[in-house]
Amino acid sequence: MNKLIPLGILLGVSLPLLAAPTLVSQQTKTAGQLAIPYQMYKLDNGLTVILAPDHSDPLVHLDVTYHVGSSRETVGKSGFAHFFEHMMFQGSKHVGDQEHMRIINEAGGDMNGTTNKDRTNYYETVPANQLEKVLWLEADRMGFLLDAVSQKKFEIQRATVKNERGQRVDNQPYGLVSERMGEALYPRTHPYSWQPIGYVEDLDRVGVDDLKQFFLRWYGPNNATLTLGGDFDTKQALAWIEQYFGTIPRGPDVAEPAPEPVSLPETRYITLEDKVHLPLLYISYPTVALGDPQEPALDLFADVLGGSASSMLYQSLVKSGKALEVGASHYCEELACTLTVYAYPNPALDGSLKTLKGEVDKVIGDFAQRGLTPDDLEKAISKYRASTIWGLDSVEGKVSQLAMGQVLAGDPGYVFKSLDAIGKVTPEQVRAAYDKFIAGKPAVVMSVVPKGKTDWQVAKPNFTPAKRELPDYSKHDAALPLRPVTDRFDRSVQPKVSDAVSAKVPAIWHGKLDKDIEIIGSQSDEIPAVSIMIALPGGIRAESKGELGLANLTAAMMEQGSVRLSEAQLSDELQKLGASIEFSSAQYNNLITISSLTDKLPQTLTLVKELWQRPGLREADFERTKAQLLQGMKQSEQQPEWLAGQAFRELIYGKESRLGEPADGVPADVAKLTLSDVKRFYQNYYNPSNAKVVVVGDVTQKQVEDQLGFLTEWKGTAPELGSLKPAGAQAKPGIYLVDKPGAPQSVIRIGRRAMAFDTTGDYFTAGLMNFNLGGNFNSRINLNLREDKGYTYGASSGFAANREVGVFSTGANVRADATVDAIRQFLKELDGYRASGPTPVELAYMRSAVSQQDALSYETLNQKAGFLLQMIMYDLKPDFVQAQSQLIKTVSQETLKRSATHWLDPDQMVIVVVGDKQKLEKPLAELHLPIYPLQLP
């Protein structure tokens, strides 16, 4: 083996030794205090490093946050920070194209990046033995990204960003609300006047050199914070960080941005005509900036105004039937904050937003007399405390809080200071903030109305954003030079990893109550909280013909309070406890999901008992809840993805099958349901006989069994339940076209009916087979449709199943003009993979990735609960995990090929396309497949 010659000798220069990182601050663990222990360091090049060891699970989470978002962009060059979120995954000097994600996937980890107005972060969660490798990866794109940036990559990612905008903004009901609100609220020169995703014309205007200059300006180590949490040795981690990041030269100095809150000379009225069913009233009041002393008072006011079922807006407008949904929030960003109020009117009474605006104004005005009560403060403190504790349930949650606090507020412990500040707010401070920013003050009032319904708007628009004045870019500062890195080691050598970590499968206990109620649990004291799920046999399989949606409606009614407690009183009780109790319906069960802090668990379960045994089921609540559900269904029908999903369900399972209809029901059936139907369903299918209970968290088996004893008090016999297995065959293969006139994108779904769920049989094998086809970012389908063709924001495939039947599906939201070739590419990938199966390289990749994912699978209470729920629902023994691991190691290429040959035949697939029929029908004929128009409600 050749010995590496130091770079300084090769260059004939003397390289200075790196100075040791400087300890800046630290937080130690103190009994009874909410805090995240950490140490914060600073490297010579300005990189901030926060280390938060946590040895509870064999994983690490790395976050690198750059203090750059859309607020650092200039007029006419919007979307750059978000564009870089994409470019940073396209390879760097020592990491090949698409290799970053492949390496993380192969390690059994996951990763992503996010961009908002103020910062961009990149993060990975991996098994603990992979730490050095992810540090190497992140350092390479910080110091060597531009070495790999090319015009081709630039063009592909520009297309991808456009597809993302099409999917999330232009082709979604209400998708343009934030963009239009920003344009009206802020001057054109204010960086919050545009959204992080940017304008398409700006993306079209710029070139790859503009992007490189943006990187050189903002992506230096002195404008970054590296936060590491999890199972690592601090001394070793710091040494690796110094090695890989310490020699990266600092970028230009970056000044901390000054707050830029705005004020309005008068109320601005704007209107957005959109493809929506329900109109929307959306009001934003400009307030302060992040960290302002008045921020907690405004947070509390927003909570009292519209933050819960007991809030002023909800009680005045929703309970009276004047609105279907309302809310208020105070959202703070680094430069400016806004207090936003929204309301959907009840069209059965009055679709006019002008009328609704008058009602909202009256409620806001009523606060002047009401003020803040001690009860408000108690609820807020409990709610914020519980939210903070649940945020510490994962290493990622802890790291995110530390990083956000440091980057945006200069304090890793900012979240805890915010919690403390909420507890110190006085009624006088809230009243002062209300008087200063809300009462009678100008705001932006947006009316979102269905196309052609401008008579529903609050007022005739009186404001048009100024035209964007683009600067003369030729007069900008001189180009920034590249910053070469000088090292003492060879960065092209990927770090080796130590032996694989052992996943910590939760220690499990089993219990049983009367009425054959099974309990499975796992005790964990990492946070003082408990998560419980009670599965009562029933769900949508218990619905009779003509009453589809009854399970969902009954669950919604169970949340409306008890005989003793109204919905508002229930909301108050839960907020004071910092707890949540949710009722829902699933395929086979009616579910009660409970989250509680440990010290409040007895009181929380007392409320569960009351709601379950003595639900209110009042007529007024029923009429309001049913109306809300019906309007929500109609609204869903405007969403292209919902249309595609429903068309696909109908074709795969058949309209006569319950699985062929929406889980929340059919509007025609729901409209006919009565309160008597709900009471009958409740009496029959909230019976605990044969129930399954999952418990995870900071509670012992004896404690929880004693506290759940009330489940045995139910009188009545266990109900008989039917099957969900479809009786008929799926629809015949071909293209089923759902018309969405003017759609800028087409939604494609391709698939077939498949096998039922299993843990070690055909279903599990098919999942392994699919991994390289469409089961990860580097899969064949995604690399083709997104990274090569630039047709979509993302494409995938997979199997899903219940205990009786399953489905294979693939698809994507694609550019409208790429619809035909996108389908062609999907079918080509299915046919090619079916013929060959995974290659030896792909097989090894799958083995490595899937086998190491277990290290990340049991960290949070929700993950543990999901694992236990699967075990108890399918009557699994804990050793099924070992059986699956053995299958992953031994499954052959021939076995996976047989699975692909059987399930991926394009001639067996139905193809759903939701798009503009007038533009698509003729081009789709080029595929030489039958085309069937499909009409959905």
Residue 1 has pLDDT above 80, yes or no: no
Torsion 800-802-803-809 (CA) sign: negative
Would you say how long the chain is, in residues? Answer: 937
pLDDT > 90? residue 500: no
Per-residue pLDDT band for 713 (boundaries 50, 70, 90) equals very high
Dihedral sign for Cα atoms in the order 865, 866, 868, 872: positive
- Do 114 and 85 form a contact (C-beta atoms < 8 A)? yes
- Do the domains at 268-372+425-456 and 734-933 have one common CATH topology? yes
The pLDDT score that the predictor gives to residue 10 is 33
Instruction: For residues 106 and 239, give the distance between their C-alpha atoms in angstroms, rounded to a whole number.
Output: 25
Structural element, H or E, at residue 436: helix 427-437
The predicted pLDDT at position 611 comes to 98
The two tokens of residue 65 are 């946050």
pLDDT for 722-744, tens place per residue? 899 999 999 999 999 999 999 99
Domain 509-713 -> CATH class: alpha beta
User: Kindly report the CA angle at 925 between 916 and 646, in degrees rounded to 5?
Assistant: 50
* Rounded distance between C-alpha atoms, residue 914 and residue 648, angstroms: 11
Which tens digit of pLDDT belongs to each residue from 455-493?
Answer: 999 999 999 999 998 888 777 667 899 999 999 899 999
pLDDT tens digits, residue range 98-151? 899 999 999 999 999 999 999 999 999 999 999 999 999 999 999 999 999 999
More confident residue, 399 or 206: 399
pLDDT digits (tens, 9 = 90+) for 632-663: 999 999 999 999 999 999 999 999 999 999 99
**Residue closest to 480 by CA, chosen among 733, 216, 280:** 216
Percent of the chain with pLDDT over 70: 98
Strands 280-286 and 337-345: antiparallel
31 band by pLDDT with thresholds 50, 70 and 90: confident
Instruction: Flag whether pLDDT at 19 surpasses 90.
Output: no
Q: In what order do the strands lie in the sheet with 580-585?
A: 509-513, 517-523, 692-697, 529-537, 589-597, 580-585
Closest of 482, 74, 83, 20 to residue 249, by C-alpha: 482
Calculate the average pLDDT of the chain: 94
Rounded CA-CA distance 186/189 in Å is: 8
Q: Specify the fold of 268-372+425-456.
A: Cytochrome Bc1 Complex; Chain A, domain 1 (3.30.830)
- What is 734-933's CATH number? 3.30.830.10
- Determine the Cα–Cα distance for residues 101 and 835; give it in Å rounded to an integer: 26
pLDDT tens digits, one per residue of 897-921 = 999 999 999 999 999 999 999 999 9
Q: Give me the pLDDT at residue 476, please.
A: 67
| pLDDT, average across residues 840-865 | 94
pLDDT 10s digits, 408-449: 999 999 999 999 999 999 999 999 999 999 999 999 999 999
CATH superfamily, domain at 7-245: Metalloenzyme, LuxS/M16 peptidase-like (3.30.830.10)
Is the pLDDT at 167 greater than 70, yes or no? yes
Q: Sign of the CA dihedral 221, 207, 180, 630?
A: negative
| pTM tops 0.85, yes or no | yes
Give the confidence band of 18 by pLDDT, cuts at 50, 70, 90. low
Q: Confidence class of residue 895 from pLDDT cuts 50, 70 and 90?
A: very high
Instruction: State whether residue 897 is helix, strand or coil.
Output: helix
- For the stretch 106-121, pLDDT in tens is 999 999 999 999 999 9
Cβ contacts of 221 within 8 Å, gap of 6 or more: 43, 45, 46, 47, 142, 245, 248, 249, 250, 251
Per-residue model confidence (pLDDT) at position 7: 33
Please state, in angstroms and rounded to a whole number, the distance separating the CA atoms of residues 726 and 753: 10
Residue 11 has pLDDT above 50, yes or no: no
Average pLDDT value for residue range 880-893: 95
Residue 9 has pLDDT above 80, yes or no: no
Find, among 511, 871, 516, the residue nearest to 688 by Cα: 516
Element (H, E) at 636: helix 619-636
The model's confidence at residue 14, banded by pLDDT at 50, 70 and 90, is: very low
Mean pLDDT of 48-60: 96
Mean pLDDT computed over 79-96: 91
- Ramachandran region, residue 43 (left: φ > 0; alpha: ψ -120 to 50; beta: rest): beta
Least Cα distance to 540 among 685, 728, 752 occurs for 685
**In angstroms, rounded to a whole number, what is the distance separating the alpha carbons of residues 587 and 564?**
31
H or E segment at 159? helix 151-165
Domain residue extents for the chain: 7-245, 268-372+425-456, 509-713, 734-933
Look up tokens 């729920």; give the residue.
Answer: 869
Burial class (CB in 10 A: 0-12, 13-18, 19+), 68: buried
